Amino acid sequence: MIESDDLSRKQKAKIDEAAILFRLCIHGFSVFCSPFDGDTEDWVVKTGSGFKKIQVKWVREQRHGMPSVSLVKTAGHNKQTRYSDEDFDFIIGYDFFSDIAYVYSKADVSSNRRMISVNKDCAEKWVKLRE
């Protein structure tokens, strides 16, 4: 129906953030966002043990290999750096075409430098946010 290339980066960000917000609300989390566009965390979620910073990313289809989630952010004019440990508690990749969210904790991605391949074990694992 629609190709990923037909969507701008901004459109993709709005779609994946809305899809994740919807899921967080369904699972009973209190969700907060920054009033400022461009902050590192897309959502802050209240859990029983405090607050968790969430970064939402678009799942990219690769020409070869598994789809993946980027672990880098744009800092300044076209400068990309990996998210630091202080930037997030969870990175959630949203696959628009399969409508699946992949939930990765900081520990899940600690050994990856720039991206992580989607892992079926992380699909819709919202319980991780409660641990």
Model confidence at 65: pLDDT above 70: yes
45 assigned to some structural domain: no
* pLDDT value at residue 3: 65
Q: Is residue 43 part of a domain?
A: no
Residue 16 has pLDDT above 90, yes or no: yes
**pLDDT 10s digits, 26-56:** 999 999 998 777 677 899 999 888 999 999 9
Look at 104 and 62; give whichever has higher pLDDT. Answer: 104
114 within 8 A of 70, measured Cβ to Cβ: yes
Q: How many domains does the chain have?
A: 1
Structural domain span for residue 126: 4-38+51-130
Question: Is there a domain that residue 33 lies in?
Answer: yes
Q: Residue 95: name the closest of 30, 44, 39, 20 by CA.
A: 20
CA separation for the pair 73, 52 (Å, rounded): 19
Structure confidence at residue 64 (pLDDT)? 79
For the chain, the average pLDDT equals 90
**Would you say residue 44 lies in a domain?**
no
Domain with 60 in it: what CATH number? 3.40.1350.10
CA 40 to CA 55: how far, in whole Å?
A: 7
What string of DSSP letters covers 5-65?
GGS-HHHHHHHHHHHHHHHHHHTT-EEE--SSTT-S-SEEEEETTEEEEEEEEEEEPPSSS
The answer to pTM > 0.85 is yes
